[in-house]
């Protein structure tokens, strides 16, 4: 069995390019849903808006953690250039998500969550490229579960649609990381 260090980026360049373009489309869809939705200007039930702001801020905090985690991985010196490039692209997706979530919180009259000064990442366990990839895959899997739980909680259905779009992007990140690790990219037919 090949190790991650023996495997370039398991996806061929053309397929990888198509995948990354599709991921960017999901982020653009989220921007379109949130940026152009008049319902986000603060109209509606204040209690529901406050609940939506709380959910958005929870997602924002998770996105900020992912940004920091990908930076840790990129700076670790443990990733090959091809893998580091994809990790930074995924970090860019998380930055887009965070910017969108923060601006939406503000549109709803809330105060966006701030990134923490320090995250307690398991740095002592990151000794090889595979360790960094497993760490990132675990965070992406957690993001998928979090967005899956959040989607039905939004009072504003446009927010639910946008969160579902971000969920799709997180799921693709998780699948790619699993594939690079030599694991089955999509291990089951359902997420929980």
What's the chain's average pLDDT? 83
How far apart CA 60 and CA 55 sit, in angstroms, is 9
pLDDT in tens, 6-19: 433 333 333 333 33
Residue range 153-180, pLDDT digits in tens: 999 999 999 999 999 999 999 999 999 9
Residue 180 neighbours by CB under 8 Å, 6+ apart: 4, 7, 9, 10, 83, 133
**Average pLDDT rounded to a whole number, residues 21-47:** 43
Tell me how long the chain is: 192
Enumerate domains of the chain plus CATH numbers.
12-35+43-180 (1.20.1260.10)
CB-facing half-sphere around the CA of 123: CA atoms within 13 A: 14
| Rounded Cα distance, 122 and 104, in Å | 31
**Higher pLDDT pick, 190 / 69:** 69
- Number of Cβ within 10 Å of residue 33's Cβ equals 21
The pLDDT value recorded for residue 24 is 36
Read off the pLDDT of each residue in 119-135 and give the average, rounded to a whole number. Answer: 97
């Amino acid at each position: 069995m090949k190790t991650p260090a023996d495997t370039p980026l398991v996806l061929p360049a053309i397929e990888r390019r198509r995948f990354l373009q599709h991921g960017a489309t999901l982020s653009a869809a989220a921007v379109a849903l949130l940026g152009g939705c008049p319902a986000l200007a603060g109209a509606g039930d204040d209690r529901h808006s406050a609940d939506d702001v709380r959910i958005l801020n929870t997602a924002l905090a998770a996105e900020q953690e992912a940004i920091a985690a990908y930076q840790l991985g990129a700076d670790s010196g443990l990733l090959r250039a091809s893998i580091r490039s994809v990790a930074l692209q995924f970090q860019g997706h998380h930055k887009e998500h965070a910017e969108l979530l923060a601006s939406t919180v503000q549109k709803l009259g809330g105060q966006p969550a701030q990134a923490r000064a320090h995250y307690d990442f398991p740095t002592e366990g990151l000794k090889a490229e595979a360790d960094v990839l497993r760490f990132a895959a675990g965070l992406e899997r957690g993001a998928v579960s979090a967005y899956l739980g959040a989607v039905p909680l939004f009072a504003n259905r446009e927010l639910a649609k946008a969160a579902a779009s971000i969920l799709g992007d997180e799921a693709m990140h998780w699948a790619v990381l699993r594939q690079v690790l030599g694991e089955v990219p999509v291990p089951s037919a359902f997420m929980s």
